[in-house]
């Protein structure tokens, strides 16, 4: 019996090439396996927090309800990938809390305080896609732990009545004032400004730039032929990366449980399509929001 010959070098090389091709094919078909590590190059610092805030700007605008406003509490988990040709995709889970939750409305009785405290926290999952060097990220967000719809509508209507009872014309220099204080009677105006600004901040956000409402500098209530609230106001947006303060004039039309309409123009050196916009959204958007 003759001894077994070792495989020829050419055969070993062919087997190695076939194995390499198989591994690469599996990596393309199953992108989550370790064979394809997340691309870290080009990811800005704090991308998960930036993506969560962008998702909340979008969520707040699409909700169209001052009583549904949420702010970021913390990011629980997330992953991000960079495609040099397309942009950056972020999948994440984060917690939220009700905006101005420390200031309970006057109509909340003491026996509801515990329930109110439980409503402050929520949880969201989101997919955020930042196009390369382009604003207005594509967002799909789902949130749970929100205030019940009937309670939210009740609060919105009470806020609506409070705004309608304000004397016109409004003479407002700045909200908050120089000491950072917001008069309780002006809180509804600030909340509506925050609501309208959410759309502007979402539209202007990129993977490197994100914004927050710093101050409301002027408000003009307009007369309308219907029952809605029509405001022209100017806000100052704080851009965190550059530390610039950007003034934006916003026109908002709002009525409880009806579509929110926003038009704006920001004073900055950029192309006109990025500096201004117009949008309308419904408070009922089941494809992007849950529990609404």
Q: What is the pLDDT of residues 2-23, one digit of tens each?
A: 555 555 555 544 544 555 555 4
Reply yes or no on whether the pLDDT at 272 is more than 50: no
pLDDT at residue 199, as a whole number: 96
This prediction has a pTM of 0.74
Q: Which domains does the chain have, with CATH numbers?
A: 47-281 (3.10.450.10)
Reply yes or no on whether the pLDDT at 286 is more than 80: no
pLDDT at residue 220, as a whole number: 86
Pair 81, 118: CB distance under 8 Å = no
Name which of 26-30, 82-86, 186-190, 230-234 the model is least confident about.
Answer: 26-30
**Per-residue pLDDT tens digits for 210-255:** 999 999 999 888 877 778 888 899 999 999 888 899 999 999 999 9
- The Cα 170–Cα 68 span in angstroms is 25
Q: What is the average pLDDT score of the chain?
A: 77
Reply yes or no on whether the pLDDT at 27 is more than 70: no
CA distances from 109 to 12, 35, 126, 191, 278 (A): 79, 57, 34, 22, 39
- The Cα 150–Cα 22 span in angstroms is 56
**Per-residue pLDDT tens digits for 43-68:** 767 899 999 999 999 999 999 999 99
pLDDT at residue 255, as a whole number: 92
pLDDT band at 285; cut points 50, 70, 90: very low
Reply yes or no on whether the pLDDT at 200 is more than 50: yes
**Per-residue pLDDT tens digits for 77-109:** 999 999 988 999 999 999 999 887 444 444 344
Beta bridge partners of 72: 96
pLDDT at residue 288, as a whole number: 36
Between 277 and 263, name the one with better pLDDT: 263
- The Cα 255–Cα 282 span in angstroms is 11
**Per-residue pLDDT tens digits for 98-141:** 887 444 444 344 444 445 555 567 899 999 999 988 999 999 99
């Amino acid at each position: 019996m003759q001894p077994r010959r070792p495989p020829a070098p050419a055969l070993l090389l062919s087997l190695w090439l076939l194995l390499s091709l198989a591994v690469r094919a599996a990596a393309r078909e199953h992108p989550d396996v370790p064979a394809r590590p997340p691309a870290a190059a080009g990811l800005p610092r704090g991308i998960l927090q930036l993506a969560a805030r962008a998702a909340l700007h979008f969520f707040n605008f699409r909700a169209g309800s001052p009583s549904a406003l949420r702010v970021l509490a913390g990011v629980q988990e997330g992953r991000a990938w960079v495609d040099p040709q397309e942009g950056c995709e972020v999948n994440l889970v984060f917690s939220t809390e009700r905006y101005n939750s420390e200031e309970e409305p006057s109509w909340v009785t003491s026996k509801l305080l515990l329930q109110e405290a439980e409503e402050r926290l929520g949880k969201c999952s989101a997919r955020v896609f930042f196009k390369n060097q382009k604003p207005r990220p594509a967002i799909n967000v789902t949130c749970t732990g929100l205030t019940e719809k009937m309670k939210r509508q009740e609060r919105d209507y009470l806020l609506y009545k409070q705004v309608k009872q304000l004397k016109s014309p409004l003479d407002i220099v700045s909200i908050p004032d120089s000491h950072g204080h917001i008069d309780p009677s002006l809180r509804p105006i600030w909340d509506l400004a925050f609501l309208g600004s959410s759309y502007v901040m979402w539209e202007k956000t990129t993977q490197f730039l994100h914004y927050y409402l710093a101050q409301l500098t002027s408000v003009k209530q307009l007369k309308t032929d219907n029952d809605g609230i029509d405001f022209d106001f100017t806000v100052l947006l704080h851009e965190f990366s550059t530390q610039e303060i950007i003034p934006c004039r916003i026109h908002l039309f709002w009525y409880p449980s009806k579509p929110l309409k926003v038009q704006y123009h920001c004073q900055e050196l950029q192309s006109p399509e990025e500096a201004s916009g117009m949008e309308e959204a419904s408070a009922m958007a089941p494809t992007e929001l849950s529990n609404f």
